[in-house]
Chain A
Amino acid sequence: MKGSLDMSKRFRAWPLLAAVTLVCLVSTNSLQAQLSERVDDPLGLSLRVGRIQVIHSDRPGQPGTSMDLQQTDPWLAYQLGQSYFQREWTARDGLFKTLSTRPLAGAANSCAMCHNLPFRSAGSGGNIGGDFGGFGRNTPHLFGIGLIEMLGMQVRQQIMADFDTNRNGFLDDPAETKGRRAIIKAAPNVTVDFGSLEDLDGDGQPELNDVIKVMMVDRDGRSRPLRSDNSPSHLSDAGIAGYDFSVAVISASVAGDQEPTIRMFAEGVLHTIMGVAVADHTVTNNNGIGRDQRADDGWAELSNAGATQPYVPQANSLPSDPFQHVSEGEIDLLEWFLLNYPAPAVGRQDLNTKRGRRLLDEYGCTSCHVADWDIRASDEKRGFTGDRRFFDLKVQFDPASGKLVGHLESRLRKEANRDLSVPRREGFTVSGIFTDLLHHDVGSRFYDYGTLQDRLYVNKRFRTTPLWGVGSTAPYGHDGRSATLDDVIRRHGGEAKESASLYGAAPLRDRLALISFLQSLVLYQPDTLPTDINGDGEIATDFEVQGIDVGPERFFPELFFRVTPSYRGWINNPGDRYFSLELLNAKEVYGHSLEALKDLNNNGIPDVAELKP
């Protein structure tokens, strides 16, 4: 019906079409996405393959399972993880299913619906209205989220290394807490005070910053969060020997919505925003069996990506359709992707921006917006894991091209005598993050009001926003109510009053300089970023993989897969010659011929899983 405008046919055929469409969907497993899933996409920016549930493994050996993918084909693992982030989940996946009472429908069907700008990145986005506060929450970007997770965990390890002197896994109160403060070294000559380990005001809780979530424990380290009347346990209660804690640094701007790990955060969002069920033994196992170290201690297993997970009880039963949940293996890969997600970029610097950077120090902004943090190298004795990522992408402005460019550095090492790659777990300096990870009261202009059980409620404390990427993430504030950087800086009061008045009183020239520096801290689209990926110091316009031209050298994960992608290549249309990235060997490249990902009946569940009783 080329070019025709005949609609009657369309209408008459609709029920049939709908039926056929459904059949096609089921039979070809052709799911669509926020990024659409299209092998034929000539730009190669769409999702390449349909979803096949990934089976979890905690060691390599079974091809196609999560740990095997992570260690034998880490970029494929990364890209599959990305696909869960970008995917538009569908009814077939069980979308909105876990919101069974559905007081409100799910807001969106993809992580990428909100983490959206720049498109096809884990960027920032608009506001999500919440039950709390009329203005809801502005979507923060997730660039560098793995580094933030590692810093949070390192804070915990440092506190434990310094104060858990009897090494029983928690802080004995008062023996290990009396008169002590959790003062953490962020970088050389920079310390951050996370508060008092001791309960100074006698309210039964230590005076720690809100970012630290405290859990009371008994003498055996078993969690005792609540009294018999369901009120929170106090340190002075009989049977409470001290407390354990996590450092909840991930994502949201208020403490109640923050999580200590990427995994918990991702599962929470899948569950509540998209209503997709998650089956994840890694976080639900707290029985001391298998990979859980101690029963009932509030901690579950160590994830494949290397983060010990807080225990999360299974939220509710899974839908009966076995395809309608996200599998543990898929969560493994999603965590792997986010852990490794690159950090924001530093755009064009000039005298003005450099001056602005100095002024950040002068006004005292950097006393909370702490510029740099060190990740310590792996040190088993002190509990440090080192940098668990497998690559680092440094993105800076290139004066020659006038564009942002990337430099990719592998942080993998080969396992001796095996064809496996694992992160080197060295130290790393996270530079230009600009946060102390703490929560502060920065004045009434940020306060957030709501009702909770018929009581008026105010939230006064918010995390120090990491400033990296801030040039790309207007509007500002946890509620997105400040249109510009100038607006949001002037909104600071409370603990930041002095810095804000210094800024307000500064001459225009200085204010503009400071803002121009902040505006140079930007986000970018990773998949089209010109990048030196082979470390030769150049960015080729025609890059070759296995002797085949794959277009300009860029940060495009497919180029690093174990199986070389085969693209359609040059298309010559009259007046329109272009390189088509239509993928001709998607199944092989994306691992769908590996044993644990084979799915001959196209139902999205690996055949090996279906053979099991």
Chain B
Amino acid sequence: MYPLKSRVVFTLVLGIGQLLVWASLTPSQISENATDPNGYKIPYPRVRLVHSTDTRLEGTTAFLRADDPFLFYQLGRDLVQRQFRPADGVDGRSGILSVPLYVAGEVTPANHGRDARFARDHTNSCGMCHSMPFREPGSGQTISSTGSMGRNTPHFYGAGLVEMIGAQTRQKILNLYDRNKNGLIDRAEVEKQSPVRIAPITGVAPVDFGDLSPDADGFPRLNSVFRVWYVNEKKNLIDAPRGFNDPRVAAYGFAMQPFGWGRGYRQVDGRNVAEGGEASTLRSIYALASDVHLGLQAFDPSQQRKSSDVAMLGGETGVSLNGALQFDFDSAADRGRKQNAAGLSLDDPDHDGQITELTEGDVDAAEFYMLNAPAPAVRQSPSSERGRKVIQQLGCLRCHVENWQLEAANEDLGFAGDRRFFHLETHTLSDQNGVSQLVGKLVKTYRRLGNGEYTFTGAAFRVERVYSDFKHWDIGPEFYERRYDGTLQREHRTAPLWGVGSTAPYGHSGQFQSLDEVISAHKGAAEKEGKAYRSLNPALRRALVEFLASLVLFPTDEIATDIDGDGVRSDSYAVARQSVGYERFDARFLFKVPPRYRRLYNVKDYLGREIPLCLIDNVADTYRLGLLYRRDADGDGFPDVLRPAERAIR
């Protein structure tokens, strides 16, 4: 321990000193570094993960999930936070315009640049934009999108719950109208008016998602949060710009897309075509964002239809390792047209010389992390709960629906139940000075099978204080977005308000600097509530804003948390007999092979808590780098054994 006198090092001399400065500024999001005494950096090199559904194949994703779920969570988290390198395939088309303005659009030579949305490959880590709080599923930067006002980065705390709400809502709609249970809406099933009213919780006012029966143009009258595709008699997807008015169309399928700010509608030949949200599933949004923002293309058969002759957007592709029904919206950009014997895709869509930049196994891990990512918290102040009543009285909850119920697993009804392995319960502790802090309790929602494997229970779960109906609404001109092609996007998704206290600026463009501004701007469909807020007396306005400010994001691995279920948040928690400071949800503490921490020095952290600075002495063991499908002796980023036996047999 040599706490150097900082002045000596930092009294840099001009000239030579400048070189030192440049050298020390080397950027990173979370970089690889096994010598970070804070333990925040990723202490092992990247090795692509191998997908399987066979829990016996050691080191594959099915194995890791069943055998060492907190390691699997951490591996997913590291993929989301990791700063990828050129050798991983990051970048490649930086600055190139090839992301179409519309979901199903294309960038053609003739109109090059006119309909493109933004340039690709801005950065090398998801964590670059999802940066606040740092190293977490936070919110962050704004980037150019369909127009120059930009899109603000939403957080993805609780993303798994959102995915499950979307999937369950779709299932409930099918349960109402899909009489032949083919997963599609056939002509005969919606000949009459087919209103879609889904109650977030039984007995609560239902959310009106529209109507499944076609309008005069042949399209279902669903809210634009749904994406629709059409199939013929043989259930093959067909291009049907006239919907049910095209006689070839026998049925349509649909997916709810609760992720993203919403893309509203676009005009096609005078008709409004719903553009959906950004994605339906965690896999989809991870693969999509990795491609367009990082230049990493995922080869993810889990979300690609097998038959290559059908080439439309949409269609179910089966259930993922983590239990989510997938659709093919072309999110995973590496289609694996050419594969080698080991099952790697050789396509290299961005021609950067790197193949299979993200594997199906990588997407499994990212999906598991996002599925289990803790939900936002409520950090109450002595008076913040007062504003909750104001919000109710103003009618805000009509769209900002407070709670949603996830139903328990029920095979007949097609419900999977809560597919997470745990959730992090949080609440506020206040001292006598009114200083509040969040504390947590890790609630395990997994169960062990007879052979010791972990799986989810599929119980019911109430998603509390999410504050969204996940619909797209037109709430007035201050929220409109003038797109590059001159058209106007009027509708956006009801922003889930959880976390809103930590995610300024506001609006899909981040054009509002404060909560007061963004609420005041509500008009259109929210005219009544907006007006009520604008005419509210200042004290009640403050109460309302104070309440919203209590809906926060937080450092999931740093709040004091009871992780072993003994009812106590210990001040001195031990991992493999080494004290690691106060008890908290650092997933590594729960690895099957516990990290062997070597204490370097005790320090006070930013809240004055004592914690030891540590290094991990058994990185390879604790991250299980020696398992058959994890081993990478030549360090090329691919495991030495790549192809699970089950695939070879197939």
Contacts and interface: CB of A to CB of B under 8 A. Distances in A.
B134 interface: yes
19 contacts: A3-B271, A4-B239, A24-B109, A35-B148, A96-B86, A102-B86, A108-B27, A110-B122, A118-B510, A119-B152, A129-B27, A129-B127, A131-B33, A215-B15, A256-B24, A451-B36, A451-B37, A481-B134, A504-B433
B39 interface: yes
Interface in B491-516: 502, 504-505, 509-511, 513
A232 interface: yes
Given A126-B128, A456-B2, A1 B106 contact: yes
A71 interface: no
The residue in B14, B39, B116, B118 that gathers the most chain A C-beta atoms within 10 A of its C-beta is B14
Give the top 9 A-B pairs by smallest Cβ distance, nearest first.
A126-B131, A90-B95, A134-B40, A225-B13, A32-B119, A8-B311, A134-B38, A3-B268, A107-B27
B104 A298 contact: no
Nearest to A115: B141
Interface in A504-554: 504, 508, 522-525
Contact of B149 (A10, A45, A89, A461): A45
Interface string B93-112: 11111100000101111001
Interface of A: 1-11, 14, 17-18, 20-22, 24-25, 28, 30-36, 38, 40-46, 88-93, 95-96, 102-110, 113-114, 116-120, 125-136, 138, 203, 205, 210, 213-216, 223, 225-226, 232-233, 244, 246, 254-257, 259, 264, 268-269, 271-273, 286, 298-299, 310-313, 315, 444-447, 449-452, 454-461, 472, 474-475, 477, 479-483, 486, 490-491, 504, 508, 522-525, 571, 573, 576, 578, 580
Interface string B606-650: 111000010000000000000000000000000000000000000
Contact of A480 (B119, B132, B330): B132
A232 B13 contact: yes
Candidate in B36, B269, B486 with the most chain A CB atoms within 10 angstroms = B486
B309 to A, nearest CB: 8
Given A91-B95, A134-B38, A205 B7 contact: yes
A6, A7, A11, A446: most-surrounded residue (chain B CB, <10 A):
A7
B310 to A, nearest CB: 9
B449 interface: no
A7 B330 contact: yes
Interface stretch (B56-64, B200-208, B596-604): B596-604
A291 to B, nearest CB: 18
A213 B133 contact: no
B435 interface: yes
A126 B123 contact: no
A402 B19 CA distance: 48
Given A38-B148, A134-B40, A256-B9, A223 B14 contact: yes
B502 A483 contact: yes
A435 B383 CA distance: 33
Given A105-B85, A508-B382, 15 more contacts: A11-B335, A31-B95, A38-B113, A90-B119, A104-B31, A129-B29, A134-B36, A311-B14, A311-B15, A312-B18, A445-B607, A481-B134, A486-B435, A522-B513, A571-B486
Contact of A96 (B25, B91, B144): B91
A244 B37 CA distance: 37
Contacts of B387: none
Nearest to B114: A40
Interface of B: 1-4, 6-22, 24-31, 33, 35-41, 83-86, 90-91, 93-98, 104, 106-109, 112-114, 116, 118-119, 121-125, 127-129, 131-135, 138, 140-144, 147-150, 152, 229, 237, 239, 241, 268-269, 271, 273, 309, 311-314, 330, 335, 349, 351, 382, 433-435, 482, 484, 486, 488, 502, 504-505, 509-511, 513, 552-555, 600-601, 603-608, 613
A47 B604 CA distance: 47
Contacts of A10: 106
A95 B95 contact: yes
B10 A254 contact: yes
Contacts of A475: 132-133, 502
Contacts of B147: 41, 43
B13 A125 contact: no
B148 A449 contact: no
A491 B25 contact: no
A254 B20 CA distance: 14
Given A104-B85, A106-B124, A134-B41, A223 B13 contact: yes
A50 B439 CA distance: 52
Given A135-B134, A232-B11, A268-B21, A21 B486 contact: no
Given A90-B96, A133-B38, A21 B133 contact: no
A213 B17 contact: yes
Contacts of A120: 148, 150
In the complex, which of the residues A9, A102, A105, A525 has the most CB atoms of chain B within 10 Å of its own CB atom?
A: A105
Contacts of B601: 456
Contact of A21 (B3, B35, B98, B606): B98
Given A5-B229, A7-B312, A118-B510, A104 B28 contact: yes
A2 B350 CA distance: 25
Given A90-B96, A107-B128, A108-B128, A310 B122 contact: no
A41 B148 CA distance: 7
Contact of B141 (A44, A125, A580): A125
B107 A17 contact: yes
A223 B96 contact: no
Nearest to A311: B15
B555 to A, nearest CB: 8
A2 B239 contact: no
Given A96-B91, A107-B124, A119-B510, A215 B13 contact: yes
A273 B148 contact: no
A30 B12 contact: no
B13 A127 contact: no
